[in-house]
Amino acid sequence: RILLLEKLGYPLWYPDLDENLPATYREHGVRIGDVGIITEGGQFDFIFNV
Residues 16-45 have pLDDT tens digits of 667 777 787 778 777 888 888 888 877 788
Q: Which domain holds residue 7?
A: 2-49
Q: Is residue 13's pLDDT more than 70?
A: no
Q: In this structure, which amino acid lies at residue 6?
A: E
Q: Is residue 49's pLDDT more than 60?
A: yes
Query: Which is higher by pLDDT, 32 or 2?
Result: 32
What is the chain's Cα-based Rg?
11
Q: How confident is the model at residue 14 (pLDDT cuts 50, 70, 90)?
A: low
Residue 16's contacts (CB-CB under 8 Å, 6 or more residues apart) are 43
Domain count within the chain: 1
Distance CA 48, CA 28 (A): 13
